[in-house]
Amino acid sequence: MGDLPTAPALLALARDVLLTELLPLLPQEAHLDARLVANGMAIAEREATVGNEPHAAILRELRRLYSDHPQADPAQNGEVEVETEEFGLLRRFAQDLRSGAFDRSEPHSRRARDILWQLTIVRLRLANPRFLNANGFS
Amino acid sequence: MEGTASPRSEPSQDPSAAAGERRTRLAHFLAPAAGASAVEITSLSPLRGGAIQENWAVDASFRDGPLAGSQQLVLRTTAQTGVTASLSRIEEFAVLKAAFDAGVTVPEPLFATDDEAVFGKPFFIMRRVKGIAAAHRITRDPALDPALPALAERLGRELARIHTIRPPRHDLAFLPAPDEVGPARQVAAFRAYLNKHATPRPVLEWGIHWLETHFPTPVAPVLCHHDFRTGNYMLEGPELTGILDWEFAGWGDPFEDIGWFCSKGWRFARLDREAGGIAERAAFYAGYERESGRPLDPRRVFFWEVLAGVRWAVIALEQSDRYMIGGERNLDLALTGRRASECELEILMMLDPSGVPADG
């Protein structure tokens, strides 16, 4: 177990100090950069908060999609293996989408598109949840 | 891209010790170019915001000749990090001149040189137009709201005027031939990029596959601006003062510019205003149709809008690569890669509207 405060808590506090205490002291021409720093910290904080679970969920969906045609052994326990397996399956998925491999079967195509939505929403929840909200997503 | 070069913000002072010498060399270039017996550079300062190009505000006093008196100018040259898809400054000058001659509202192009002895790099000089180009301000400012439908209509007319420039053109002979451009070439380029990109992008692959199975029938090529959008034109109050950033111009399908202008990636603070974040599409389309005399086919616009989403995503990833691979220490570039997912969401919303997750 790591020390406290946690990484997300430290990032949240540091970001708050930057925006509320430091930003008003900075010259106007440095405000944009300071806001970019705050944005980068917010993304890092969200990623540190959710951990690996969203990626593991995508991986489960990809495994299910490819369950009829496994190419590799399922991942062992541990983050490194999950990342490696997710990367391999994502690459295969991307190649299949490029070649139109799902076009011939509507149920298969639907499952593939569901994963695309899931993947995109997971990424945007981390990178830009406001954009997601502005487009009607929670 | 947002933040690319243009004379759009207040100058800051050049701290370089060589500034005086640089002014002298520039004055010596400008005098004969402008038919003046003498030119004095009264101010030379970099303008902020040039990620791809570098712009300098130049205040110059011409003793005589056609520009006699004080002139406010912009010197545009290439930034340290060039982007491969962009025209050279000499070529951009030629395109700007063609647009100016066609009656498009642009900063008047004046002189260009590839003599590196003057400023260290090739550059061109244009008049400095007044106003702001900041897209977030334009799309957020309530004081501008009443004028924005008319602005969208005007921009539609301006775009139609750009599209009156058609090949063959001797002065634009450097542009890739029309049969060397087009959506098939772009699809191939997107895939070539994704082949070497570190992370698989399934949504982009899916969107590109849709594109290649829905190519529109070819139309007669025109000059496309290829970055015609909010953020690349200057407004003084509600008045359009200039269309900027011609570095990506080339022959293409006219609907490409329309799709780019309307794509969600360029609506900034107002996603609901589908014409560049400033108005309904109808106003923009009406201006284009009135000026060109041709109706716009929404299906063609749709195709090019999907392509715009893919293109913006690839550009965002390329910007991030400048940090990830190129080692440029620039937080803005590093963060831009994250925006690719915004484009991917839009691609999904356009191509799979019935698939929106129930809990989304």
Q: Which amino acid is at B34?
A: A
Res B4: pLDDT: 33
List the structure tokens of A78. Answer: 């541990």
Nearest-angstrom CA–CA distance, B105 and B158:
7
Chain A: closest CA distance from residue B14 (Å): 15
Beta pairing, strands B109-113 & B123-127 = antiparallel
Question: pLDDT averaged over chain B?
Answer: 92
Higher local confidence (pLDDT), A133 or B358? A133
> Inter-chain contact B331–A37, Cβ cutoff 8 Å?
yes
Q: What is the pLDDT of residues A56-89, one digit of tens each?
A: 999 999 999 998 655 544 444 555 566 688 899 9
Which of A36-50, A65-79, A114-128 shows the lowest per-residue confidence on average (mean pLDDT)? A65-79
Query: Of B270, B248, B353, nearest to B260 (Cα)?
Result: B248
Q: What is the pLDDT of residues B284-338, one digit of tens each?
A: 999 999 999 999 999 999 999 999 999 999 999 999 998 999 888 999 999 999 9
Determine contact, residues A82/A112, Cβ cutoff 8 Å.
no
Residues of chain B with Cβ-Cβ distance to A118 below 8 Å are 357
Q: What is the pLDDT of residues B68-83, one digit of tens each?
A: 999 999 999 987 654 5
Determine whether B242 is exposed, middle or buried from the number of CB atoms within 10 Å of its CB (0-12, 13-18, 19+).
Answer: buried
> Inter-chain contact B202–A97, Cβ cutoff 8 Å?
yes
Q: Which fold has domain B7-24+31-127?
A: Phosphorylase Kinase; domain 1 (3.30.200)
Nearest-angstrom CA–CA distance, A42 and A36:
10
Chain A: closest CA distance from residue B164 (Å): 36
Q: Distances in Å between the alpha carbon of A77 and those of A52, A70, A122, B92?
A: 12, 18, 22, 56
Chain A: closest CA distance from residue B269 (Å): 10
- Residue reference for tokens 């570095």: B247
Q: Looking at this predicted complex, what is its ipTM?
A: 0.91
Q: Which amino acid is at B146?
A: P
- pLDDT score of A23 more than 80: yes
Q: Which fold has domain B135-350?
A: Aminoglycoside 3'-phosphotransferase; Chain: A, domain 2 (3.90.1200)
Determine contact, residues B244/B233, Cβ cutoff 8 Å.
yes
Kindly give, in sequence order, each residue whose CB lies less than 8 Å from that of residue B226, ignoring residues fewer than 6 positions away: B248, B249, B250, B252, B256, B257, B260
Residues of chain B with Cβ-Cβ distance to A39 below 8 Å are 335
Which band of pLDDT confidence, cut at 50, 70 and 90, is reported for residue A103? very high
Selected residue of B194, B342, B347, B352 to mutate for chain A interface (largest A Cβ count, 10 A): B342
Q: What is the pLDDT of residues B52-62, one digit of tens each?
A: 789 999 999 99
Nearest-angstrom CA–CA distance, B148 and B278:
6
User: With b meaning 16 or more CB within 10 Å and e meaning fewer, what string describes B211-234?
Assistant: beeeebeeeebbbbbbbbbbbbbb
Q: Is the peptide bond before B167 cis (omega within 30 degrees of 0)?
A: no
Res A75: pLDDT: 47
> CA triplet B325, B206, A132: central angle to 5 degrees?
75
Nearest-angstrom CA–CA distance, B260 and B265:
9
List the structure tokens of B176. Answer: 């890739």
Q: Distances in Å between the alpha carbon of A85 and those of A60, A80, A102, A109, B204?
A: 10, 9, 21, 22, 20
Tell me the pLDDT of chain B (360 aa) as tens digits.
333 333 444 445 555 657 789 999 999 999 999 999 999 999 999 987 656 789 999 999 999 999 999 999 999 998 765 455 589 999 999 999 999 999 999 999 999 999 999 999 999 999 999 999 999 999 999 999 999 999 999 999 999 999 999 999 999 999 999 888 899 999 999 999 999 999 999 999 999 999 999 999 999 999 999 999 999 999 999 999 999 999 999 999 999 999 999 999 999 999 999 999 999 999 999 999 999 999 999 999 999 999 999 999 999 999 999 899 988 899 999 999 999 999 999 999 999 999 888 765
Structural domain boundaries of chain B? 7-24+31-127, 135-350
- Report the Cα B240 to chain-centroid distance in Å: 15
- Report the Cα A100 to chain-centroid distance in Å: 25
